[in-house]
Chain A
């Protein structure tokens, strides 16, 4: 196959992975906006969701209509609990301590999953079969439509949260001016709880739709974190829209690099892009100049 003929195929796969990275970038935005923390355990939240959806679909043979909400709920509740126990006590500590706490939280989640569930990746069946749909020269998995559709639904819900709910407005306000938010009496502890909870709900939903593609792999967390973070920085972590677009771009970029050059150096490529953005435009390609 010539390089040109591969384009539609690569673009289709890239958009699929990009949706996942976009949602992860959004999680980074939510937690950072609410607390100022960059959550190193972010990818492991998604892994929690992957394990939950595997449990629901493969172990208990639940219908999708039950499995997806349960996955989202389970991830959200687990993370909410962890936030109260471990993150909340460190809210006003210096950055290196908060960083070590989310790092250690990631290690703990990964370790617990390996201990209780095993470390071998387990496959999750596709939601609606594996017969590819041929479209414009690309073979698209039906699951890709679930992923893109799921992302659209999540973004629509979040748009509502950010623009219509008190929490969303408070979160965006806190992101803009943390000191000011405290002065007008926003409860920083509550915002932190909701921010981590919301990021976990998004992670759970993303995990549910992506599980058939990347399978329930307990060790994938760190790599997901890095890609999502790269997306958030690339687009600009100050606004949700730019963070998501950055994530989508990283997905497309990664797929093209893997398809046209080599998949050996994927992380290096993402890192190179990060460095470039930091040097040229620290606020992100789409971010506001500061």
Chain B
């Protein structure tokens, strides 16, 4: 992505948040778009770019949230320490989990990572002394900037935007670096990658752990933003949302991840008030998008906008 394009992406939430000050509901939706944007970009790196299908995002999201909240609540440290803890703990769990399970591929990996998310849910539910069990943990406050003249919620959006933009910048650099191209080779042809001397298992673990750490960071923001976390905050639905945003927006395309997170968060908002219709509509929209736009929205639109020159 060019500097101008990146600048526009940075400006969008900053300006939108500024204009929406006073409208807490709209700012909340914006915060969710950014949090889910991070999850979708993490999924794009792991699944879209490196080809390792994952449904573990909700698990790492949860682990990060619990790690951060325990640091700020129990140790009484500022948010930044909780945030660092969330990156480290989620990344470490991701690395440890990745080493054995990345031996399997494709759909199998999907189901095993889904089982992992279920396990995180069960641990959060039953390890009451640490996680508060069913009641969860509450009482944390969101980080704000001491800038006079702006709302606390908007200043939180600014901090969140900084994280979101850092993820976008890092992911964009990764995708275009030598290291990132080696990662992409895993998806295109694993045997080919091996033949080129790429350490396949190391790159797989790296991609998986990196995406896990990013999901953990998103979890830290989520927990402190909502002020409550419990097992039900981290169900498989979060993983499905993350992969749906990444794929519907455009497989392996960071712009697609951003667009997907904005669109699906936006779609989900009116549906939340109609829980009976929510799953049907959500499932139907994803299926429809996948059948009508096989490669996701962004690549399909780009293809129409920029037809290939005749050979």
Contact = CB atoms under 8 A, between A and B. Distances in A.
A179 to B, nearest CB: 15
Interface stretch (A121-129, A139-147, A275-283): A275-283
Nearest to B48: A96
B276 interface: yes
A95 interface: yes
Contacts of A98: 107
A259 to B, nearest CB: 18
B240 A271 contact: no
B259 interface: no
Given A96-B53, A108-B287, A229 B122 contact: no
A95 B279 contact: no
Interface in B258-311: 276-284, 286-287, 290-291, 294
A264 interface: yes
A93 interface: yes
A12 interface: no
Contacts of A282: 103-104
Contacts of B104: 278, 282
A222 B118 CA distance: 10
A274 interface: yes
Contact of A226 (B106, B114, B284): B114
Interface in B221-274: 236, 240, 243-244, 247, 251
A37 B108 CA distance: 9
A40 B111 contact: yes
A99 interface: yes
Interface string A98-121: 111101111110111011000000
Interface of B is mostly: helix
Contacts of A107: 240, 279, 282-283, 286
B101 A275 contact: yes
Contacts of A97: 247, 251, 290, 294
A8 to B, nearest CB: 29
B290 A275 contact: no
A115 B280 contact: yes
B119 interface: yes
Given A99-B53, A111-B282, A264-B122, A226 B111 contact: yes
A218 to B, nearest CB: 11
A110 B115 contact: no
Contact of B107 (A38, A86, A111): A38
A134 to B, nearest CB: 35
A267 B100 contact: no
Interface residues of A, number: 45
A267 B282 contact: no
B115 A270 contact: yes
B283 A268 contact: no
A164 to B, nearest CB: 29
B112 A274 contact: yes
Interface string A31-53: 01000111010000000000000
Nearest to B275: A114
B136 interface: no
A90 interface: yes
Contact of B100 (A93, A103, A279): A279
Interface in B26-53: 47-48, 51, 53
B143 interface: no
A271 B111 CA distance: 10
Contacts of A101: 287, 290
B126 interface: yes
Closest 7 CB pairs of A and B: A111-B279, A108-B283, A38-B107, A111-B280, A107-B283, A95-B106, A104-B286
Given A98-B107, A271-B115, 16 more contacts: A32-B107, A36-B107, A38-B106, A38-B110, A40-B114, A95-B53, A95-B107, A100-B247, A101-B290, A104-B240, A107-B282, A110-B279, A229-B111, A267-B118, A275-B100, A278-B103
20 contacts: A32-B107, A37-B107, A40-B114, A95-B107, A96-B251, A97-B290, A100-B243, A101-B290, A103-B243, A104-B290, A107-B279, A108-B280, A111-B279, A226-B114, A229-B111, A233-B108, A267-B119, A271-B119, A274-B112, A278-B100
Interface of B: 47-48, 51, 53, 100-101, 103-108, 110-112, 114-116, 118-119, 122-123, 125-126, 236, 240, 243-244, 247, 251, 276-284, 286-287, 290-291, 294
